[in-house]
Amino acid sequence: MNNKFTFGIIFIGALIGLVMVFAPLQTTHLGNAQLITAEKPKGGDFTLTAVDGEHSLSDYKGKLVLLYFGYTFCPDICPTNLGNLSVAYRNLSAEQKDKLQILFVSVDPERDTPQRLKQYADYFEASIVGLTGTPQTLMEIARRYGVVYARVDDPNNGTNYAVDHSAFTYVVDQNGLLQQQLPHATTPEQFIKIINQYLR
Amino acid sequence: MKKTLSTLTLGLICSLTSLHAWAAQADHIKVENPFAREVPPTAPASASFMTLTNDSAQEIKLVQAYSDVAKTIELHTHTNDDGVMRMRKIDAITIPANTTVELKPGGLHIMLIGPFNPIKVGQTVEVNLEFVDGSRKMVTMPVKSFMAMQPMQGGHKCGNGKCGSGMGH
Ligand SMILES: [Cu+2]
């Protein structure tokens, strides 16, 4: 698990059988994240753990869900994205806030405990729920959503590893269907536009 | 003799020119809009950003940075590889002759790893930049929150580094 320059991987939705060949669950010792370009990821329901217990995506049926995968040690990419989401959230009406849920899924279960995730998510004041799970569960979900992640050890500092990760925000509609993915650095204005589109 | 004189003069001009070129690299770098980022209390590192302009005719490399606010200071970059953000430590940030290089979120940055105290909005942070010739430049920068970096257009009330109420307890 702690081999240098590795641990995690990777995955893109579609063609699960094919992906299995590239990335069997237990033996994920590749040097770099692999990008297997594929069609639209299929998404789907999942169950993960928050500080107050298990949450399933299907618990949020009827709400628009914005789903982001990252890790709390992330110094720049995750705070930028969640910060933009937070600014967008604050500009919504009470009714819209009610119909929206932002989920932050950590792909760094080794360090991100549910407690830590709550502390992190609360900082953004956007009613974000922080979720985590076992490495196996996370990999399976990541594969379905086309999320890629890989641990990168710091040669100078063994404890402070970074995690390469795809930085999309996934838009899951009120029926639990993955509708689109938004790129890193999507602005608050763009988030609001998308939210308005689904919460009409 | 005349020829010798003009050669001497030329030599003198040349050496003056090169002397001028040897003026400390730090003096040729203009720093604009520096800021450090407030990060969630759980994040073990912050980043600082700025615009660096090299007004000389030679490329200048930023090779190290120092600060008392954190245990380790490193030069980093991000690359966006089909949506996968990869952060890497780099040995230098090159500022080509007469060029401006931007350190900004999602790209080049100076990492402040292991802050001794939380880096909070309202504080200032000092970062000393060292260039390849050994010259240094001290940069004093405000700490900004993620909200201040993405001000809403129009009638939005956020700004001044603070947004909403009761940040990060
Ligand atoms: Cu960095």
Per-residue pLDDT tens over the stretch A131-189: 999 999 999 999 999 998 888 876 665 567 888 888 899 999 999 999 999 999 899 99
- Best B79, B85, B86, B89 member to test A by mutation, with max A CBs in 10 Å, is B85
Domain that holds residue B30: 25-141
Q: Does residue B66 belong to any structural domain of this protein?
A: yes
pLDDT in tens, A118-137: 999 999 999 999 999 999 99
Q: How many domains does chain B have?
A: 1
- Spatial CA neighbour of B26 closest among B112, B138, B142, B111: B138
- Spatial CA neighbour of A60 closest among A72, A69, A50: A50
Domain CATH for B108: 2.60.40.1890
Instruction: Determine, for residues B82 and A35 on separate chains, whether the beta-carbon distance falls below 8 Å.
Output: yes
- Spatial CA neighbour of B74 closest among B118, B114, B133: B114
Helix intervals (H) in A16-92: 16-22, 77-90
Q: What percent of chain B has pLDDT over 90?
A: 62
Q: Does residue B154 belong to any structural domain of this protein?
A: no
CB B152 within 8 A of CB A189: yes
Instruction: Kindly state the tokens that stand for A178.
Output: 């993955």
Q: N- to C-terminal Cα distance for chain B?
A: 80
Instruction: Kindly state the tokens that stand for B152.
Output: 């809403």
Q: Does residue B163 belong to any structural domain of this protein?
A: no
B90 touches A: beta carbon within 8 Å: no
Q: Which of residues 76-135 of A touch B (CB under 8 A)?
A: 76-77, 79-80, 82-84, 86-87, 90-91, 116, 119-120, 122-125
For residue B16, is pLDDT > 80?
no
Q: Does residue B85 belong to any structural domain of this protein?
A: yes
Model confidence, pTM: 0.77
Q: Does residue B168 belong to any structural domain of this protein?
A: no
- Spatial CA neighbour of B39 closest among A162, A105, A83, A132: A83
Helix (DSSP H) and strand (DSSP E) numbers for chain B: 2, 10
Q: Does residue B14 belong to any structural domain of this protein?
A: no
Q: Does residue B96 belong to any structural domain of this protein?
A: yes
Q: Does residue B150 belong to any structural domain of this protein?
A: no
A189 touches B: beta carbon within 8 Å: yes
A159 touches B: beta carbon within 8 Å: no
CA distance A104 to B87: 20
CA distance B52 to B151: 23
CA distance A128 to A122: 7
Q: Phi/psi class of residue B96: alpha, beta or left (left: φ > 0; alpha: ψ in -120 to 50)?
A: beta
Enumerate the residues of chain A whose CB falls inside 8 A of the CB of residue B41: 119-120, 123
Confidence of residue B152 (pLDDT cuts 50, 70, 90): low
Instruction: Determine, for residues B87 and A75 on separate chains, whether the beta-carbon distance falls below 8 Å.
Output: yes
- For chain A, how many residues are written? 200
Q: Is the ipTM of this complex over 0.90?
A: no
A35 touches B: beta carbon within 8 Å: yes
For residue A93, is pLDDT > 60?
yes
CB B51 within 8 A of CB B32: yes
B151 secondary structure, DSSP code: P
